[in-house]
Amino acid sequence: MAVEYVTYQGIKFPPAYNSEQSLRFTHKEFQVQDDDVFNVTYPKSGTVWMIEILSLIRSGGDPAWNRAVLNSTRVPWFTTRLGLESALSYPRPRLLTCHLPVQLFPTSFFGSRAKVDQAGCAWGLQYRAGVTGAKVVYTLRNPKDVLVSYFYFSKMCSSYKDPESFEQFLRDFLSGDVPHGSWFDHVRGWMEMKGKKNFFFITYEELQQDLRGSVRRLCQFLEQELDEGAITSVVENASFRAMQENKMCNSTLLPKDIMDQEKGTFLRKGICGDWKNHFTVAQSEAFDTIYQDQMGGLMEAFPWGAH
Ligand code: PPS
């Protein structure tokens, strides 16, 4: 059946999980609590990985919760219809997840005066430091790897249009004509928050390179002290292999009409640099030109910036 995306404020969303009403509600009316922790990503950047890490940290390194309860219940997708119900009945302190670009994030997180401040805050939103203690963990990944992962995911997930070809998907990704909008806008928007004390930025590549160090930094940010044994347990239980074996996070429990496991695997490769197996030299150069143009000075801020 043909997929018709839901559009909210000019951005497309997959129809199985979102409606215009649920997106408007989470944008305009969802009440952020002081002790909420948000896991925010552009798709395919390490969302479910961070869900495992955050839940393991929350349970002091004990994997029982991760092994017994679905990831979508532990850290609900609060912008989706079902996720919103879970989020509203979730006992505080909540762990929540979304792919929202910053301009569609709940306004209750920000000051509501919708005017551009003198410093030129991009979306006309002002952060009210001290009013809310809610925290955001934003994970980003080399966009070329995001694109490859997104390409395969779109093939297996019924709520996404099956890409015509890699070349076409590349064109759509570069022009931002994909669900959840442009990677460039998403990252640039959230990067405006860099330096705020309630924002934590991390890359997929850092998680790969030094998961233990990343978990330590996250614990510090979340003000949750874990001893070395507990950190070891987080690292072990959030490994690619452990996650592949855990039905509560490997997506194999999803019904075929949502995710067809015969068409692919959600935890597909879990590596950095798979783009090199997919991009031609010309495609990579075209990507770099647009990346440079869109990201400008932000380029060097990321581990893949120099390449
Ligand atoms: S989604 O659909 O947006 O929620 O997808 P998301 O979870 O953001 O991204 C899925 C990719 O993350 C990889 N992944 C991991 N890599 C390494 N280690 C661990 N533990 C891990 N967990 C998830 C997953 O394999 C997807 O990447 P690809 O490149 O497709 O393998």
- Whether 232 has a pLDDT exceeding 90, the answer reads yes
| pLDDT for the residue numbered 111 | 61
| Residues lining ligand 1, Cβ inside 6 A | 41, 43-49, 145, 149, 152-153, 238-240, 243, 267-270, 274
pLDDT grade for 128, boundaries at 50, 70 and 90: very low
Answer yes or no: CATH 3.40.47.10 is held by domain 6-141+181-261: no
Segment 172-194, tens digit of pLDDT: 999 999 999 999 999 999 999 98
From ligand 1's centre to the CA of 169, what distance in Å? 19
Q: Which tops the pLDDT comparison, 131 or 191?
A: 191
Q: Residue 12 — φ and ψ, nearest 5°?
A: -85, 145
Residues 211-219: what's their mean pLDDT?
A: 98
From ligand 1's centre to the CA of 266, what distance in Å? 7
| Alpha carbons 229 and 214: distance in angstroms, whole number | 15
Question: What predicted TM-score, i.e. pTM, was given to this entire model?
Answer: 0.93
- Prior bond to 93 cis, omega within 30? yes
DSSP H helices, the chain, are: 20-24, 47-58, 64-68, 71-74, 81-88, 143-156, 166-175, 183-191, 204-209, 211-222, 228-237, 240-245, 281-295
Segment 2-18, tens digit of pLDDT: 899 999 999 999 988 88
| pLDDT for the residue numbered 305 | 63
- Whether 131 has a pLDDT exceeding 50, the answer reads no
**Tell me, what DSSP letter sits at residue 25?**
I
Cβ atoms within 10 Å, residue 273? 15
Segment 240-278, tens digit of pLDDT: 999 999 999 999 999 888 889 889 999 999 999 999 999
C-alpha pair distances (Å), 30 with each of 107, 123, 292? 8, 19, 36
Residues 295-305: what's their mean pLDDT?
A: 75
